[in-house]
Structure formats: C-alpha cells, structure tokens
Amino acid sequence: MRTFEVRDQFLLDGEPFTILSGAIHYFRVHPSDWHHSLYNLKAMGFNTVETYMPWNLHEPRPGEFDFEGIADLARFLDEATELGLMIIVRPTPFSCGEWEFGGLPAWLLEDRSMRPRSRDPKFLECVARYYDALMPILVPRQVTHGGNIIMMQVENEYGSYCEDKEYLRAIRDLMLERGVDVPLCTSDGPWRGCLRAGTLIDDDVLVTGNFGSRAAENFAALKAFHEEHGKNWPLMCMEFWDGWFNRWGENVIRRDAQDLADSVRELLELGGSINLYMFHGGTNFGFMNGCSARHTHDLHQVTSYDYDAPLDEEGNPTEKWYLLRDVVRDLFPGNWTADPLVKTAVSVPAEKIELTGRSGLFENLSNLAEPVRSLYPQCMEDMGQSYGYVLYRTQVERDTCEPERIRVIDGRDRAQVYVNEKHVATQYQEHIGEDIRYALPEKNNQLDVLLENMGRVNYGHKLLADTQRKGIRTGVCVDLHFVLGWEAYCLPLEDVSKVDYSAGWAGGTPSFSRFEFTLDEPADTYIDTTGFGKGVAFVNGTNVGRYWEIGPIATLYVPHGMTRAGVNELVLFETEGTVCDTISLRSEPLINHLEKEGVE
C-alpha cells in the first residue's frame, strides 16, 4: 500500500516528494478532452493534478445528485490515475474558483433562516447529505486505499471570509467520519491575519498559501506562521496564479510567459511545492460563470476561463507550457517529459451555415414555462429556479396621458422592461430602481420585465448579501404604488427544443435564432457572435455559455465532444433584439479591438 505523509517534507512511499501540480477543473473541460489535458500536464514534467468539485454541479436540487457526463468525477480521477498522476482534491462546500456562487447551490438561499458557510446546523446538515454522496467516490481513491489521492482540502480561503474554527472543524469531522484518512490542508493568503482566521494549524491540518509571485517573501510569511505554532512543515503554494480571469467590458488580462517561468523557478529553487492555478482553465459552460463583488456594481465574469494558462481554452500548449517544461527539465532532470498533444479547430464560413428559423420569446412563453402566479413578484430562488432568466408579466391600467413613472424595485442583475411587448428600458444592477418614464399607449397595458441572473458572487463578504437572490425581490411600482397580480415564467432554458419557430417574431424583442452547419467529423470550433447583442448559445441542445457584444471575447469555444459528424444545430437566444441572418465558426478565438490595439 502506498503512503503519503506530511513531515518536515512531503514523503510519498517514504521518499521525499516535491509536489508539481496543476489545476484542471473537470467541470470546465469536456470529458472527451480530459485525457488531452491530463497528458499535457504530465508531459510538462508535473506529477500531480488538482481539482475543485463544485457542490452546485453535483447536487443541482436538494437530494438530487449528478455524477454523469461532465460531472463524472470518478472517471476524471481514474483517467488521472491511469496516467500516473497523483491527485489533490478540494471537496470543500465552498470553492470560489470564479464559479457561480463559489460552488454553493443556489437552493440554499431559499431558507432565509440558514447561514451558509457557517456552523449553522441546517447548513452542516446539507453538507453532510452532499458528502454522503461525494465521499464514496473519493475515499476508495485515496493513496491509503490503493488510489492516487494524496491530500484533501477542508475549506478554501476561509481566512478571507471568516474565522469560525468550529465551522472548520465541523467540515473536517464530516470528512473524517466518512473515511477520509489522507492528510488534510487549508489554503489562504499568506499573511498572518488571513492564516490565523482561516486555518486549523493547531489541529495539525497543513497550512498552504495562495499567491502568484514573490515566492521568497510569501514563503517566509508562511514559514513564520508555521514556526509560531511549533510546526516544521514543507512549504507549498496551493494556488500559484499563472494568469487571471476576465470580466465583461474589460481588457483581456495577460501575464508575460518568461516572468511566470522565472517566478516558478524561484519558488522551486526555494524547495517549495506548487500547484499552478490554472494549468488548463477551460470554459464556464452554461450559466456557471462567477462574479467579482464590488460595493455597487458587481463585475460578472465571461464565459471563457482561458486564464492565460499554460494550456489555452481549447487545451493546447501556450508559450508558458514550453518555458515551464524547460524549468522542470532543468531542476528535475529525472522527471518524464514529452511533446504535448495538440488539437486543431475548424472554421465554417457564413455561406455554409443556414438560418433555419427565428422566433420570439414572447411567442414561445407557453412552450417554455408554466406561469407561476403570485400577488407580488417572487425572486428566482423562491420559485425553485437557480439560473437563467425570469419573465415577469402583469397588467397595468393607464391613469394619465403623460409619461408614467415605472420602477423595478430591488432586482438583480439586469432588467429589460417592455410595454405591450415593445422595449422601453434596460437597467443593470445599480440603475435598477431608477425612474423609467413612459406614456402608456392603451387603457389597459401588458407590462413585462425580463430579469437575467448574470452570475452570483464567488468571493468576499457579499456571498450572503440579498443581492445573490436573483430576479425581482420586492416589486414593481407604477406611479407611487406597487402593482399586484403577476405571472412569472421561469426560463432556465434547459430544453430549447421546445421553441416553435413558426410562432413568429417582432423585431427588437428577445428571440431564438436557429442555424444548421455540417461537419465531416466532430471538431473543436469557435462561434463568432459578431452581429448579435447579448444572450446564450446552444450547440446540439447544450448551453455553451453567454455572449455579449461588449467583449472582450467575441467568440464562444465549442469542444469537439459537443459536435457530431453531419448536421449540427446552433441556437442563439438573443435578449437585445440585435440579430443577424448570418453567422460563422472560427478556428481560433476572436478578441475585441482593445487587445488588437495593444491595450494591456
């Protein structure tokens, strides 16, 4: 039986072991590409893979568990084991990771008396139920049971959130009670205040740090904290940031490849272990992008999680990959290295892609959802919905020929207001609630408000703010009074095959555009969304993510595992009424003009 120990150094089977790890999130990479990414990690000379496992992916509804397809954790771990990679898993209830709500299930927000990510018994009961389903996958794959999992993380960057040691011990105990017996760890910012709040150092849970440069300085701070508590532990950076994520309307963030290689070399020459965050970033498929919390205007993240990592979004090696392999070959000449696997993507010109139908959202509401009726509008979570859109509808009587004052009170994240199915206004975050002046054209009018959940925050104090409940939380006022009598159409868009393309469409309103393209064989490609405004795209029924004309990335990556030989279907749900009758597929991503002009 193999062993892994944490002493004054890491010991694998009793021998000193430097952890050379890279993060690959199986849930951001199509299963058909798991081998490709894992092989390229090993070919770079690394020996370990690390991954989160997002709770909201695996328990989308209370008591309903999903470990199939892109959620097939067991298959991913076994693929890594077959390649000889050791494994670090982070089965923490909260992940962060620029993932929707930091991996917490949105259904936790239904109970306003519960405090997630705390010692609250109701929250811990939910975690226990989740672990009852998760741990039977992890426990048999521990190195102590003949597998390759060498370490598990208790919580993630908790020192940046709270200092509740009882909560941390409760999560640890839930893991131990279910058979976890490999070393446990935490990871936090490497300064004392963060480490003091977020670790279980006095309980012999390994303390690791997260940073992306200045290894000597950060390791010195980490070592000082170890010594303060009488520990002589090995030093490890659990998240060495080799790039960064991107947000709508901002420039693409890049890190110089040589600077990264030099910084990694510095860390390894200090005798430390490393986990590159990310090795392969992948894609926030569906509605799973996270959000950066700010005082008023939260910054939602884009669909691509390229991260400027050693592997690009498609999974192919970048300049960083080759420079890091050189570092490994120099410092660890005995490690196996090889040439990387490289894929190619295909392009399909617009003239070979046929528009086969376009139909409006208003014309398809009854096909997509049953209305939820209530006196006041209800937020998304109270209607049992986690992601996507809600269309709220009511009737409004005209009281004056002058412009009326319409206000959406307390809504998130983005509201589009229509009167008699004509667009009146769009408000985003901090502007929701401002006056919308509009003269109602008829004696009796239909008022529609389309609310989009653009992603819940994944880090910081706003995790439990009421802004994380999406949709309309209070109501809609016309003149000075709240309007009663609402129908809500929940639109998670889990099945767009129900759209009737013969139902018609009025220009300027939300719509579905259906295209067909033909491939000789399944292939990677990128959807060029130029000509459309904002929405989400579906390939053969799978939601590949959001697009938005403000960029910075104007394409959506489609892995070959989502395509097929022969005819493929592409559907764009467009919320702005900005449509185009042609669309093309590219063989590489399209970045907006900001980067092309050399803006860093």
Domain span(s) for CATH 2.60.120.260 in the chain: 350-358+510-596, 362-491
Residue 13's pLDDT band (boundaries 50, 70, 90)?
A: very high
Mean pLDDT to the nearest integer, 549-564: 97
Question: Between β-strands 48-52 and 404-412, what pairing exists: parallel, antiparallel or unpaired?
Answer: unpaired
Which pLDDT value is given to residue 371? 98
Catalytic site residue from 79, 157, 363, 381: 157
Residue 599 has pLDDT above 50, yes or no: no
**Helix and strand numbers, DSSP H then E, in the chain:** 11, 31
CB 49 within 8 A of CB 22: yes
Q: Where are the beta strands (DSSP E) in 377-496?
A: 389-397, 404-412, 414-419, 422-428, 436-438, 444-452, 471-478, 481-482, 486-491
Residue 358 has pLDDT above 90, yes or no: yes
Q: Enter the tokens of residue 83.
A: 């390649």
CB proximity list for 237: less than 8 A, separation 6 or greater: 208, 209, 210, 211, 215, 218, 219, 267, 272, 273, 274, 275
Which pLDDT value is given to residue 390? 98
Residue 295 has pLDDT above 90, yes or no: no
Angstrom distance (rounded) from CA 91 to CA 180: 11
What is the per-residue pLDDT across 133-192, written as a single tens digit (0 to 9) for each?
Answer: 999 999 999 999 999 999 999 999 999 999 999 999 999 999 999 999 999 999 999 999
CB 142 within 8 A of CB 181: yes
What is the per-residue pLDDT across 497-529, written as a single tens digit (0 to 9) for each?
Answer: 999 999 999 999 999 999 999 999 999 999 999
SS3 at position 548: strand
Q: What angle separates helix 73-82 from helix 121-138, to the nearest 10 degrees?
A: 40
Angstrom distance (rounded) from CA 26 to CA 44: 19
Angstrom distance (rounded) from CA 456 to CA 380: 12
Torsion of CA 191, 280, 273, 212, to 10 degrees: -30
Of 197 and 298, more confident = 197
What is the per-residue pLDDT across 232-283, written as a single tens digit (0 to 9) for each?
Answer: 999 999 999 999 999 999 999 999 999 999 999 999 999 999 999 999 999 9
What is the per-residue pLDDT across 432-474, written as a single tens digit (0 to 9) for each?
Answer: 999 999 999 999 999 999 999 999 999 989 998 899 999 999 9
Residue 592's pLDDT band (boundaries 50, 70, 90)?
A: low
Q: Enter the tokens of residue 26.
A: 């199986």
Catalytic site residue from 239, 381, 404, 574: 239
3-class secondary structure for 8-35?
A: CCEEECCEECCCEEEEECHHHCCHHHHH
Which pLDDT value is given to residue 273? 98
Query: Which CATH code for domain 350-358+510-596?
Result: 2.60.120.260
Q: Is 370 a catalytic residue?
A: no
The class of domain 4-331 in CATH terms is alpha beta
Domain span(s) for CATH 3.20.20.80 in the chain: 4-331
Residue 294's pLDDT band (boundaries 50, 70, 90)?
A: confident
**Residue 356: Cβ within 10 Å count:** 13
- Residue tagged 């990592």 (tokens): 309
Q: Is 100 a catalytic residue?
A: no
Which pLDDT value is given to residue 430? 86
* Percentage of the chain modeled with pLDDT above 90: 96
Which pLDDT value is given to residue 594? 43
Kindly report the average pLDDT of the chain as a whole number.
96
Backbone phi and psi for residue 235, each to the nearest 5 degrees, phi listed first: -95, 135
Angstrom distance (rounded) from CA 456 to CA 470: 9
Which pLDDT value is given to residue 593? 44
Question: Between β-strands 184-188 and 149-156, what pairing exists: parallel, antiparallel or unpaired?
Answer: parallel
* Percentage of the chain modeled with pLDDT above 70: 98
What is the per-residue pLDDT across 85-108, written as a single tens digit (0 to 9) for each?
Answer: 999 999 999 999 999 999 999 999
CB 334 within 8 A of CB 317: no
- Ramachandran sector of residue 156 (left: φ over 0; alpha: ψ -120 to 50; beta: rest): beta
Q: What share of the chain is helix, strand, coil (3-state, %, to 5)?
A: 30, 30, 40
Query: Which CATH code for domain 362-491?
Result: 2.60.120.260
Which pLDDT value is given to residue 595? 44
Note the pTM of the prediction, 2 decimals. Answer: 0.97
Which pLDDT value is given to residue 597? 43
